[in-house]
């Protein structure tokens, strides 16, 4: 089956799809011995010989999806220039290269999804697909109904108005309380900034759900591979969101353009007045 060239390169695990597009444009990719620079080029991985910098692509690895319960004190990246612990230290035994779908702060914990499928990862993170992420949060003080209403409508941050959130009170103590917040965006430190905006700094934050996935009883610091059912649910979620967006775009293109108003009828020209009598006399003299 034919597939876009940049996707074939990305699926091989060599680089991301965006980087693959750059390499194609730079002339570093050949198909059957011919340099290809067109990003829309389609190839059949089973028939066509694709090379990058003169080297054949490796066989496409199997699709991998795994869930990690990240503890506090770990960077959610695969490496850290400052030498701090990263989630790579927790992925002992994972033979294939995987990368995180989104991030959690150093002092946050909870569910992280990792995969080697770049296209699915991008779709899960894109705000237009509205993939829900749910957090269990301990905050200072107790949120009022007015503050919850503000969060549910969207609050103004320095990078713009947030989308609507779903907020539930869980329990409260003397000075602090627990709330559950579900959002569909992924801005940096978004949930913390939202709560600070309404006057309740975050003390503890745990992501408990991502899309159709639930952290459940996965121990902190451990990971597990998704079941076939869970992986298929993710694929189906992405596919349904993509189809919905495509249908919306198609519908907007089918809307008939507004009809132009009919211009008002021009007023009839007045009839020409009869020639003066003196012109009639001159005309008779010439004819005589």
118 in Cβ contact with 10 (< 8 Å): yes
Tens digits of residue pLDDT in 88-112? 999 999 988 899 999 999 999 999 9
Would you call 234 helix, strand, or coil by DSSP? helix
Name the residue ranges covered by the structural domains of the chain. 3-56, 65-234
* 215: pLDDT strictly greater than 70: yes
Q: Which of 188, 234, 179, 228 is nearest to 208 (CA)?
A: 179
Q: What is the DSSP string of 156-175?
A: EETTEEPPP-EEEEEEE-SS
Cα angle 77, 81, 84; round to 5: 65
Q: Tell which phi-psi region holds residue 102, choosing left (phi > 0), alpha (psi between -120 and 50) or beta.
A: left
- How many other C-beta atoms lie within 10 A of the C-beta of residue 93? 5
Phi, psi of 63 (to 5 degrees): -70, 135
Helix (H) or strand (E) holding 27: none
- How many other C-beta atoms lie within 10 A of the C-beta of residue 79? 10
Q: Which CATH class is domain 65-234?
A: alpha beta
Q: Which of 131, 139, 166 is nearest to 239 (CA)?
A: 131
pLDDT of residue 122: 85
245 in Cβ contact with 128 (< 8 Å): yes
pLDDT of residue 225: 97
pLDDT of residue 126: 83
Alpha carbon distance 206, 234 (integer Å) = 21
Alpha carbon distance 169, 180 (integer Å) = 6
Q: Which CATH architecture has domain 3-56?
A: Roll (3.10)
pLDDT of residue 16: 81
Tens digits of residue pLDDT in 45-68? 888 999 999 998 877 778 899 999
Enumerate the active-site residues. Answer: 105
87 in Cβ contact with 111 (< 8 Å): no
pLDDT of residue 127: 78
Q: Which of 23, 99, 103 is nearest to 57 (CA)?
A: 23
pLDDT of residue 288: 46
């Amino acid at each position: 089956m034919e597939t876009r060239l940049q996707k074939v390169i990305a699926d091989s695990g060599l680089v991301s799809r965006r980087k693959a597009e750059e390499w194609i444009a730079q002339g570093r990719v050949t198909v059957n011995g011919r340099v290809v620079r067109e990003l829309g080029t389609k190839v059949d991985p089973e028939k066509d010989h694709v090379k990058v910098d003169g080297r054949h692509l490796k066989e496409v690895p199997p699709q991998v999806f795994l869930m990690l319960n990240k503890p506090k004190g770990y960077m959610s990246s695969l490496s850290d220039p400052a030498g701090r612990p990263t989630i790579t230290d927790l992925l002992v035994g994972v033979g294939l290269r995987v990368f995180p779908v989104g991030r959690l702060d150093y002092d946050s914990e909870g569910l992280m999804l990792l995969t080697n499928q770049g296209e699915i990862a991008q779709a899960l993170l894109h705000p237009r697909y509205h993939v829900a992420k749910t957090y269990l949060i301990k905050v200072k003080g107790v949120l009022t109904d007015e503050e919850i209403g503000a969060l549910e409508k969207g609050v103004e941050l320095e990078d713009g108005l947030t989308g609507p959130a779903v907020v539930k009170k869980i329990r409260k103590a003397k000075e602090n309380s627990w709330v559950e917040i579900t959002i569909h965006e992924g801005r940096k430190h978004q949930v913390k900034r939202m709560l600070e905006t309404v006057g309740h700094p975050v003390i503890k934050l745990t992501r408990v759900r991502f899309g159709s996935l639930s952290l459940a009883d996965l121990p902190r610091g451990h990971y597990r591979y998704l079941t076939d059912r869970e992986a298929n649910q993710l694929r189906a979620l992405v596919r349904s969101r993509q189809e919905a967006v495509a249908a919306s775009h198609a519908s907007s293109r089918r809307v008939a353009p507004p009809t132009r108003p009919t211009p008002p009828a021009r007023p009839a020209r007045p009839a020409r007045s009869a020639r003066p009598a003196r012109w009639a006399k001159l005309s008779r003299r010439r004819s005589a």
